[in-house]
C-alpha cells in the first residue's frame, strides 16, 4: 500500500491526482477508497448521405471502490458504470450491465498479482489504459472493432519492472470468454490470454505506460514494447466478449502489438490488432434452411499511430491516424476505414480534470457498396477524483 | 463554498439539515459530499369504474455526490436514482435511466454559474424544487402533464439576489430537448430556455424560494415572482424531455409563471403552466396510409394554488387546488382535471426527515367519454441526509 | 447504537467483522455507514442429458448504507444489488430490480422495532440469514422453491432475548405480498406474516442464530427454535413475492419451522418449509378457451439438515441434506429432489472474507418424465466490509 492509498493493480491502472479519498476503519481492519469520474460531451456529426445531427450525452459515469480487507495483501476493486452508452440499449433477455469490475486480488509481494473475478484482461495497451487517461475523447476505431474486453476468471501477473534499467512484465488470464455480466448461456470454451511487456530503458514515471501523453515530461527516453495473444475457444458473440449472439460458435484468435515512447513532452503510441477465426467468419442460423439468415465474427486487423506534444501550460496537441481493415469476407458489411483525428487537451488537474476538443474525418470503403466520408467535431469535459 | 459544505447551485437546489457529510482529501485537492434520501409510501386508491387497490412502494431513492476538484470554482454534482417509478417500466430499445444529474459547473464568482451536463433546466418553480423539499407527497398534476424535465446541455445563470432589498436572477439553458439519458435518435433541434426571477422584498431565508412551506417563519414578507419560456425545436417525444416517441417531430412552446409568498408560518405558492405546438398536436404514423395510427403532443395549460400554515410544533396543514385543461384537440384522450388535496406534514428534521399524510379527490372531464371521479389517501415517510 | 456503529436490526441481520466504517456528521445530526460485499464464483456442472459446462460469475455485489438521522431511534437501511443474477434477465414490462432494502425503522427502545419500507420479512431462518453469512455458497433448494422473499410494508418486532436464560422474539409484518420493487399491478390483497423464536438456553454469542457455523465456539449449548406462518391473500406471482405472473390470483399459505444448535465448534441447522394454495395450484389463462394455457403456484414442502464443525484454524467442514417435494399436481413439471452437499470453508476474517468450495449431487424424480441425476463442483471467494 503506497502512502497515497492507491491500489496500484497492474490489471486495472487508474489515474488519480493527489492522495485520493481513503477511508480506513478505526481498528485498521480494512481500507475503503471512493472515487468517481464523469465525462460529458457534445458532438456535431456530418455523415455523407445523412442529415447532420448533434449528440450530447454523459458518455461515462463511474463509481469505483477499492481497498483491502484484513491486510494489504488482500485487495478488492469494484467499479460501477451508470451511463447509457456503457449499458447499451435494453433488449429482452439481456442482463443489466452496471458492473465493470468486481475482482479480488491476492498480492503476496510486489511481483505477483493473482486475481479472481471480472476485470480487464491483458490485451492491447489502449484498452487497458483507463478511459479516464486517454488524450483524445475515445479509443481508436480498431479498439472498438478488434480488441478484447473485460472478462470473468483468473488473472495472474508477474511484474519485474525496474526504474532505470531493462524490465518486463508477464500477464495472463483464463476467463470465460463471454465478457462482462454474461449469464445467458454456458459452455466449456474458455479464453486464454498471455502478454509480455518489456521496458528496455526502465519504467515510466508514475506508471506512465498506462496513461496517454507525456504529462510527466520524461527526462530520459522511456519505451514500452508489448505483444499479446488470445485464444477464445467457442466464442458465443460476434466480438468475443462483446457483440450480438453468433448463430454458430467460433474459435477466435487475437494478436496485439503495442509500442509507447515518451520523452520531454512528446509521446508516441502505436498499435497493431488482429482478430481471426478458424475457417469462415460467417455463422449461419441452422433453423433457416435457405441459408439466408447469418451473422459473422468481426474479423480483420488494424493499425493506430498517435503522436502528441504537451506545452509548459499543460495544453497538448494530439494527432492520430487509424487504418482498419476487416477481412474481405465481411467487407460488404464492414467498411475498410481510414481515420484522421486532430485534438487539443487542456489538463487542469492532469487526467483527472481536463477539457478536450477534437475533429475526426473518416473514409469508409466497402466492397459492393457506395463508399462514404464522414466527419465530426467534439468537445468534452472530464472531471473526477 | 459555505462552511456547511453545501454546494449551493442555483440549478439544483437541495434541502439538507445541518452540516452534512463532507469528505475532503488529505491534500485538500478535492471535496466529496455524500447524501441520500428515501421516500416510502402507501396509498389507497378508489377510482370510479375500477376495483379499489393499495399501492405501496419506495417512491424515491436517491444517492447524491457533489463537491469540487482542484478548487471550489470547479464543481460537480452527480445524482443517481434507483426506485422503480423513477426508472419506469423496461421497454425494448430504452436506456437504463439511473442518472438524474451529472453536471460540471464553473462558478467564477457568486454571480455566475456556468454548467455543462445533465441537470434540471429553468422551467416552473415546483419542478426545480427538490422532490425532497415538497410539502405534499408529490408535485401537482400540471407538473406531471406540462412541465419541462431534466436535460443535457449548457446551463448559464446570473444571480443577483439581495438579502433585504430588490433582487433578481436570470437563468438560461441550451439543451438537446430530448431529456435524461436519451440516446436513441439524434437531430439538430435543440431546446432553448430562459427564466427571470424577481425578489421585490429581498431573498428568502436559506434559499426558501426553493423549499415548500414557511419552515423558517419569515419575519418580514418574502415574495418571488418568476416567468420562464422554452422553445423545444423538433421535439421527438410527446412531452418534450419525456413521454413516448412521437410519430412526427413537433416544435413545442412553453410558458411558466410562478409566485411564492412566505410570512410568519404561512406560505402561498401559485403556478401557471402551458405547453403548445405549432399547428396540430397530433402526429401520424406515415407508414399507416389509413391515418389511424397516431399519437399526440400533450398540449394544454394548468393552474395550481397551494396554501399552508406551520404550527410551532412543526406540524403543517396544506391545501392545494389544481386545474388542468388539455387542448380540446386531445380532450377525448386526456381529461380536464380538477384536484383538491388536503395534507398534514410533521417535520422532525425539517424537510430531511418528515411524516406526511394527504387526501386527494380528482374530477376528470373528457370529451366524448364518461367523466370520472377518483380519490386517494396516502401516508409517506421521507428520510435523508 | 452499539460502539461498533452497527445497526443491529432484527429484520435484517448483517455480518460484519470489526468496527466498520461509520461516518458521523460534524454536528452529530446523523450517522452514515458504508459497506459492501462481493461473491465471485466458478462452477463446473455435469447434468444428465446435457453437455457439461462452466459458469463463472459475480454472484452477489451489494452496497449497503445505514445509520440514523436526528437521533439513534430513527434508523434507515438501504441495500443496493448490482449482480446480473440478482437482477434476473431483462423482460419487457419489468422493473429494474436494484433496490434490495430501503426501510425506515423507529426503535423507541431495545425491545421494539417498527419499520416501514422494503426489507426481509420474518419467514424461514436461512432466508433471513444474510447471504454473506452462509457456510455453503448458497441457500438450499427448498429456499429457492418455497420461501418468502423481501416485501414492502410494515414490520413490527418485539425482542425479548436474554443472555443466559430463556428468551423469545415475536416478529410480524403486513406487506403487499408482491415482493421487491413490484409496481406492475395492484390489488387489495396483502400478506400477513408472524413468527415466534425461542432461545431456551439464552442468546447466541454475537447474534449467532443469524450466521451459519459456530465461529464463536459457544462454550455452553445454544438453541433457537422458531415457527412462522404467512397468509398471502390474492398473490399475483407463482412464488408469491417472486416468480412469473400467475394467470389467476391465488391465496398462498406458508409454514416454516427452524432449529439451530451450536456448541464448541459444532453447528446444526434444520428447517421445514411449506407453501400451499386453497384449491388447485394451477392457474388458467381465461383468454384461451381450450384450457391449454396455464401455469401454477409452486406448491410443496421440503426439509433441510445441515451440520458443520469448525477447526481451530478456522477451516470448517459442512454437510447438507435437502429433500424437496412439490405437490403431486405439479410433479410433472417440478421434480422431487434429493440433494447432498459437502463443503469446505476457510474463514480469513470470519464471514466477511472467506474461501469456499463445495460439491453437490442432486437426484430429480418427475412424474411422467425421465428422472435425472446432476452434480456440480464450485469454488467461491467472498470479501466485504
Dump strand ranges (E) for C161-299: 167-175, 191-199, 222-237, 245-263, 266-277, 282-284, 294-296
Given this model, what pLDDT does residue B3 score?
Answer: 46
pLDDT over 70 (residue C39) = yes
For residues A237 and A249, give the distance between their C-alpha atoms in angstroms, rounded to a whole number: 8
Q: Are B155 and B121 contacting, i.e. CB atoms less than 8 angstroms apart?
A: yes
Tell me which residues of chain C have a C-beta less than 8 Å from any C-beta of chain B.
Answer: 23, 25-27, 29-30, 32, 65, 67, 69-70, 74, 76, 78, 80, 90-96, 98-99, 102-104, 116-118, 152-153, 175-176, 181-184, 186-188, 190
Dump strand ranges (E) for chain B: 22-24, 30-47, 53-69, 74-81, 99-106, 112-119, 151-160, 167-175, 191-199, 222-237, 245-263, 266-277, 282-284, 294-296, 300-310, 315-326, 336-349, 353-365, 372-384
CB-based contact B102 A61, cutoff 8 Å:
yes
Burial of A196 (0-12, 13-18, 19+ CB in 10 A): middle
Q: Which partners does chain A have (≥3 C-beta pairs < 8 Å)? A: B, C
For residues C23 and C345, give the distance between their C-alpha atoms in angstroms, rounded to a whole number: 32
Best mutation site among C36, C104, C151, C185 for testing chain B: the one with the most B CBs within 10 Å?
C104
User: How far is B75 from chain A, CA to nearest CA, in Å?
Assistant: 9
CB contact burial A311-338 (16+ within 10 A = b; e otherwise)? eeeeebebebebbbbbbebbbeebbbbb
Residues sharing a CB contact under 8 Å with residue B303, sequence separation 6 or more, in sequence order: B142, B270, B271, B272, B322, B323
User: How far is A10 from chain C, CA to nearest CA, in Å?
Assistant: 20
pLDDT over 50 (residue A1) = no
Residues sharing a CB contact under 8 Å with residue B200, sequence separation 6 or more, in sequence order: B166, B223, B225
- Tell me the pLDDT band of B1, cut-offs 50, 70 and 90: very low
Tell me which residues of chain A have a C-beta less than 8 Å from any C-beta of chain B.
Answer: 17-21, 23, 34, 36, 38, 40, 42, 45, 51-58, 61, 82-85, 87, 89-92, 96, 98, 348-349, 352-353, 381, 383-385
Mean pLDDT of chain C: 93
Given this model, what pLDDT does residue C182 score?
Answer: 86
With vertex at residue C49, the alpha carbon angle to CA C44 and CA C51, rounded to the nearest 5 degrees, is: 40
The shortest CB-CB distance from B55 to any of C32, C69, C186 is to C186
What does the radius of gyration of chain A's CA atoms come to, in whole angstroms?
Answer: 21
Given this model, what pLDDT does residue A7 score?
Answer: 60
Q: Are A93 and A144 contacting, i.e. CB atoms less than 8 angstroms apart?
A: no
Closest CA to A318 of A328, A326, A308, A310: A308
Please indicate whether residue A217 or residue C23 has the higher confidence score (pLDDT): A217
Mean pLDDT of B316-338: 96
- Tell me the DSSP string of C98-134: -EEEEEEEE-SSSSEEEEEEEE--S--HHHHS-GGG-
Hey, which residues does A267 pair with through a beta bridge? A262, A308
Q: Are A307 and A271 contacting, i.e. CB atoms less than 8 angstroms apart?
A: no
Best mutation site among B6, B57, B356 for testing chain C: the one with the most C CBs within 10 Å?
B57
Residue C333: count other Cβ atoms within 10 Å of its Cβ: 14
Given this model, what pLDDT does residue A186 score?
Answer: 83
Q: Nearest residue of B to residue A21 by CA position?
A: B25
For residues C369 and A72, give the distance between their C-alpha atoms in angstroms, rounded to a whole number: 54
pLDDT over 90 (residue B203) = yes
Hey, which residues does A105 pair with through a beta bridge? A75, A115
Q: Nearest residue of C to residue B50 by CA position?
A: C187
Task: Find chain B residues with C-beta within 8 A of A55's C-beta.
Answer: 183, 186
What does the radius of gyration of chain C's CA atoms come to, in whole angstroms?
Answer: 21
Least confident among B177-181, C196-200, C252-256: B177-181
Classified as helix, coil or strand, C87 is helix
Task: Report which secondary-structure segment, H or E, holds C142.
Answer: helix C141-146
Percent of chain A with pLDDT over 90: 79
Task: Find chain C residues with C-beta within 8 A of B348's C-beta.
Answer: 70, 74
Closest CA to B242 of B38, B94, B103: B94
Residues sharing a CB contact under 8 Å with residue A115, sequence separation 6 or more, in sequence order: A9, A11, A103, A104, A105, A106, A154, A155, A156, A157
CB contact burial C336-362 (16+ within 10 A = b; e otherwise)? bbbbebebbbebbbbbbbbbbebebeb
Task: Find chain B residues with C-beta within 8 A of A91's C-beta.
Answer: 92-93
Given this model, what pLDDT does residue C8 score?
Answer: 65
Mean pLDDT of A162-167: 94
As given in the structure block, the three cell numbers for residue A288 are 433457416
Residues sharing a CB contact under 8 Å with residue C288, sequence separation 6 or more, in sequence order: none
Given this model, what pLDDT does residue C1 score?
Answer: 34
pLDDT over 50 (residue A3) = no
Given this model, what pLDDT does residue B177 score?
Answer: 95
For residues B132 and B118, give the distance between their C-alpha atoms in angstroms, rounded to a whole number: 19
- Each residue's pLDDT tens digit, A100-114: 999 999 999 999 999
For residues B284 and B288, give the distance between their C-alpha atoms in angstroms, rounded to a whole number: 8
Q: Nearest residue of A to residue C50 by CA position?
A: A187
Residue C134: count other Cβ atoms within 10 Å of its Cβ: 25
The domain defined by B40-56+132-384 carries CATH number 3.10.20: no
CB-based contact A17 B26, cutoff 8 Å:
no
Closest CA to B212 of B122, B313, B318: B318
Per-residue H/E/C for C252-291: EEEEEEEEEEEECCEEEEEEEEEEEECCCCEEECCCCCCC
Q: Are A106 and A114 contacting, i.e. CB atoms less than 8 angstroms apart?
A: yes
User: How far is B79 from chain C, CA to nearest CA, in Å?
Assistant: 15
Least confident among B30-34, B343-347, C131-135, C293-297: B30-34
What ranges do the domains of chain A cover? 22-34+61-300
Given this model, what pLDDT does residue B352 score?
Answer: 93
Q: Nearest residue of A to residue C88 by CA position?
A: A95
Given this model, what pLDDT does residue A2 score?
Answer: 41
For residues B56 and B47, give the distance between their C-alpha atoms in angstroms, rounded to a whole number: 16
For residues C315 and C346, give the distance between their C-alpha atoms in angstroms, rounded to a whole number: 4
pLDDT over 60 (residue A4) = no
Given this model, what pLDDT does residue B8 score?
Answer: 65
- Tell me the pLDDT band of C6, cut-offs 50, 70 and 90: low
CB-based contact C69 B21, cutoff 8 Å:
no
According to CATH, what is the number of the domain C37-61+131-384? 2.40.160.10
Mean pLDDT of chain B: 93
As given in the structure block, the three cell numbers for residue B280 are 396540430
pLDDT over 60 (residue C311) = yes
Compute CA distances C1 → A114, C8, C374, whole Å: 39, 8, 47
Closest CA to C112 of C151, C73, C77: C73
For residues B186 and A47, give the distance between their C-alpha atoms in angstroms, rounded to a whole number: 13
User: How far is C376 from chain A, CA to nearest CA, in Å?
Assistant: 14
User: How far is A5 from chain B, CA to nearest CA, in Å?
Assistant: 11
The shortest CB-CB distance from B348 to any of C70, C96, C116 is to C70
For residues C194 and C172, give the distance between their C-alpha atoms in angstroms, rounded to a whole number: 4
CB-based contact A18 B32, cutoff 8 Å:
no
Closest CA to A360 of A328, A327, A318, A331: A318
Least confident among A41-55, B199-213, C90-104: C90-104
Mean pLDDT of C148-175: 96
Q: How many CB pairs under 8 A join B and C?
A: 120
Closest CA to C100 of C181, C192, C210: C181
For residues B167 and B156, give the distance between their C-alpha atoms in angstroms, rounded to a whole number: 18
As given in the structure block, the three cell numbers for residue A252 are 477466435
As given in the structure block, the three cell numbers for residue B144 are 406531471
As given in the structure block, the three cell numbers for residue A214 are 507525456
User: How far is B156 from chain C, CA to nearest CA, in Å?
Assistant: 32
Q: Are C59 and C39 contacting, i.e. CB atoms less than 8 angstroms apart?
A: yes
- Each residue's pLDDT tens digit, A180-215: 988 778 889 999 999 999 999 999 999 999 999 999
As given in the structure block, the three cell numbers for residue B105 are 459547473
Best mutation site among C95, C97, C150, C177 for testing chain B: the one with the most B CBs within 10 Å?
C95
Mean pLDDT of A71-90: 89
Given this model, what pLDDT does residue C3 score?
Answer: 46
Classified as helix, coil or strand, B209 is helix
Task: Find chain C residues with C-beta within 8 A of B55's C-beta.
Answer: 183, 186
Residues sharing a CB contact under 8 Å with residue A179, sequence separation 6 or more, in sequence order: A149, A150, A151, A237, A240, A241, A242
- Each residue's pLDDT tens digit, B300-321: 999 999 999 999 999 999 999 9
Given this model, what pLDDT does residue B304 score?
Answer: 98
Q: Nearest residue of A to residue B90 by CA position?
A: A90
The shortest CB-CB distance from B188 to any of A40, A52, A92 is to A52
Instruction: Estimate to the nearest angstrom the gap between the alpha carbon of A63 and the chain centroid.
Output: 17
With vertex at residue B190, the alpha carbon angle to CA B186 and CA B196, rounded to the nearest 5 degrees, is: 155
Amino acid at each position: 500500500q503506497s502512502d497515497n492509498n492507491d491500489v496500484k493493480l497492474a490489471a486495472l491502472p487508474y489515474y488519480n491526482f493527489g492522495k485520493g479519498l481513503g477511508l480506513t476503519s478505526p481498528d485498521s481492519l480494512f481500507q475503503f477508497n471512493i472515487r468517481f469520474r464523469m465525462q460529458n460531451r457534445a458532438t456535431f456529426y456530418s455523415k455523407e448521405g445523412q442529415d447532420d445531427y448533434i449528440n450530447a450525452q454523459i458518455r461515462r459515469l463511474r463509481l469505483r471502490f477499492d481497498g483491502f480487507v484484513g491486510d494489504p495483501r488482500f485487495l478488492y476493486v469494484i467499479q460501477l458504470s451508470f451511463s447509457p452508452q456503457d449499458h447499451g440499449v435494453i433488449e429482452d433477455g439481456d442482463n443489466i450491465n452496471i458492473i465493470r469490475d468486481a475482482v479480488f486480488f491476492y498480492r503476496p509481494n510486489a511481483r505477483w498479482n493473482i486475481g479472481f473475478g471480472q476485470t480487464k484482461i491483458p490485451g492491447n495497451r489502449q484498452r487497458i489504459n483507463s478511459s479516464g487517461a486517454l488524450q483524445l475523447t475515445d479509443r481508436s476505431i480498431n479498439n472498438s472493432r478488434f480488441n478484447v474486453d473485460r472478462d470473468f476468471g483468473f488473472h495472474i501477473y508477474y511484474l519485474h519492472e525496474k526504474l532505470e534499467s531493462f524490465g518486463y512484465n508477464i500477464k495472463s488470464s483464463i476467463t470465460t470468454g463471454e465478457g462482462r455480466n454474461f449469464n445467458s448461456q454456458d459452455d466449456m470454451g474458455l479464453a486464454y490470454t498471455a502478454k509480455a511487456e518489456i521496458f528496455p530503458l526502465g519504467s515510466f514515471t508514475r506508471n506512465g505506460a498506462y496513461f496517454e501523453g507525456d504529462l510527466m515530461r520524461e527526462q530520459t527516453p522511456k519505451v514500452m514494447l508489448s505483444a499479446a495473444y488470445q485464444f477464445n475457444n467457442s466464442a458465443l458473440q460476434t466480438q468475443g466478449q462483446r457483440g450480438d449472439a453468433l448463430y454458430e460458435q467460433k474459435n477466435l484468435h487475437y494478436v496485439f502489438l503495442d509500442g509507447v515512447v515518451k520523452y520531454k513532452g512528446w509521446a508516441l503510441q502505436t498499435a497493431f490488432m488482429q482478430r481471426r477465426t478458424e475457417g469462415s467468419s460467417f455463422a449461419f442460423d441452422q433453423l433457416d434452411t435457405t441459408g439466408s439468415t447469418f451473422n459473422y465474427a468481426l474479423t480483420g486487423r488494424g493499425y493506430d499511430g498517435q503522436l502528441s506534444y504537451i506545452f509548459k501550460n499543460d495544453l497538448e496537441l494530439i494527432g492520430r491516424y487509424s487504418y482498419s481493415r476487416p477481412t474481405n469476407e465481411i467487407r460488404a458489411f464492414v467498411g475498410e476505414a481510414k481515420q484522421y483525428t486532430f485534438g487539443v487537451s487542456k489538463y487542469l488537474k492532469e487526467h483527472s480534470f481536463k477539457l478536450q476538443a477534437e475533429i475526426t474525418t473518416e473514409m469508409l470503403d466497402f466492397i459492393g457498396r457506395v463508399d462514404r466520408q464522414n466527419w465530426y467535431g467534439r468537445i468534452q469535459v472530464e472531471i473526477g477524483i
